[in-house]
Amino acid sequence: MLMFNQGCVTQRSVPFWTVGNPLVDPFGGAVLPKIDSLEVARIIAWAAHEGYCEATSAHDDDLVPWNPEQPEDDLDPSSPVYRKLRELKAILDEAGLSFNTITCSLHGNTLFRNGGLTNPDPELRRLARLKVERTIRIGHFFGARYYTYWVARDGFEVPAIVDWKEVYNWLADGLDHVYDYIKEQKLDNYVGATVEPKPNEPRGQMFLPTSGHAVGFICGKLKHPEFWGVNPELLQHESMALLNAVMTVGYLCSMNRLSFLHFGCQIKAQFDNDFPPLIGPEGLKETVMMFVALREIGWKGVVEYDCHMLRAEGDPNDSIGCRKQFIKDSTRALGIALALAERIRPQELAKLTQSAADLTSIVQMCALPEPRLTR
Ligand code: XLS
Ligand code: MG
């Protein structure tokens, strides 16, 4: 069996927000106690020591609180934020973790309830921009490879009051500013920035719903398209829009835009399940075929678990233990998916009919003997 870093997965990343997740849903409160970011860092460091992951990622808000009155507290050595960032970095460095992506939370604070970069209020757009700058500086401090824009609350419920003439210009301005700020400040840790599309949730409709929309926007509307890629969330976000993960990675690779993967499992056409990879009633074949496609294409990159444990398995009496188990399960699932993908050999299927090729790929994937067909 291939080790994770001999195939297409260069690093396995465990983001702060997935480990810290207290398992709230719209019908019930937190199952797990909220834990401090230092505690989250220690759990991820544990996972790195155990050999389950090599990288992490975070939103600004996962690491330190944000106070709109102090937009530059990260630069002030006397601020608690400044100190906390250093404590966090010491834990991650000691564990040898690299930092995949930093992303600005423009969804958590209720100020941004009607959008971040596309908020119709210019004062809130200005505030969002300052928060993005601070996040970019924090990412620089951690040596992040990417800055990620997740579409988040940039969306709508009421089409009649969206400023359709301006809304995509505001979005392009906000993303162009990410590039300009990184270049002006000479933050050369960043190899690029990404857009993470999602069709809905938290908004009824979001302005960049799918990977196709994201690529179109990058190539057609941004000033520096070469700097921007996409991190699709598969299976979740594309499955919510009834799209297929295999096609998504094939398309993004052909457009040279697949920066890294957010990874988990999903029931098609549902709300954002964020099931851990391979967990749940569907998704096995799609997940495995996605890795077959990535292998055949020759893509290599980071796979980041962007999901959370099932709410039903959160254990308030062992809230650290169940969080560790979640990481272990996700890494195990990735290992299973890669091992199954390794068995599938498209070259051996080429001369078969489509149905025979599909069935044979299942026989290969499961390492089955051919079943007996006759009595
Ligand atoms: C939510 C998204 C989010 C991003 C990071 O659905 O997956 O967690 O990945 O902001
Ligand atoms: Mg995601």
Strand spans (E) along 106-225: 146-150, 155-156, 192-196, 205-206
What does the alpha-carbon distance between residue 96 and residue 210 come to, in Å, rounded to a whole number?
Answer: 34
Give residue 5's pLDDT: 74
* CA-nearest residue, atom 5 of ligand 1: 150
Instruction: Look up the pTM and report it.
Output: 0.97
Q: Is the CB of 272 under 6 A from ligand 1?
A: yes
Tell me 310's DSSP state: -
> 3-class DSSP state for residue 144?
coil
Whether the CB-CB separation of 236 and 273 falls below 8 Å is answered with yes
Tell me the domain boundaries of the chain: 9-344, 350-375
Whether the CB-CB separation of 11 and 300 falls below 8 Å is answered with no
Whether the CB-CB separation of 115 and 153 falls below 8 Å is answered with yes
* CA-nearest residue, atom 2 of ligand 1: 150
Ligand 1 atom with minimal separation from the 201 CA: 6
Give residue 106's pLDDT: 98
Give residue 257's pLDDT: 98
Strand partners for 11: 302
User: What is the domain class of 9-344 according to CATH?
Assistant: alpha beta
Give residue 2's pLDDT: 57
Ligand nearest to the CA of 263: 2
Residues 6+ apart with CB under 8 A from 86: none
| Average pLDDT by stretches of 10, the chain with 375 residues | 77 98 97 97 98 98 98 98 98 98 98 98 98 98 98 98 98 98 98 98 98 98 98 98 98 98 98 98 98 98 98 98 98 97 97 98 96 93
Ligand nearest to the CA of 240: 1
- Probe target for ligand 1 pocket from 56, 61, 198, 308, with the most ligand atoms within 8 Å of CB: 198
* Cα 198 to ligand 1 centroid, rounded to whole Å: 9
Q: Is the CB of 262 under 6 A from ligand 1?
A: yes
* Residue that has been written with the tokens 């949730």 in this structure: 201
Distance in angstroms between the alpha carbons of the first and the last residue of the chain: 36
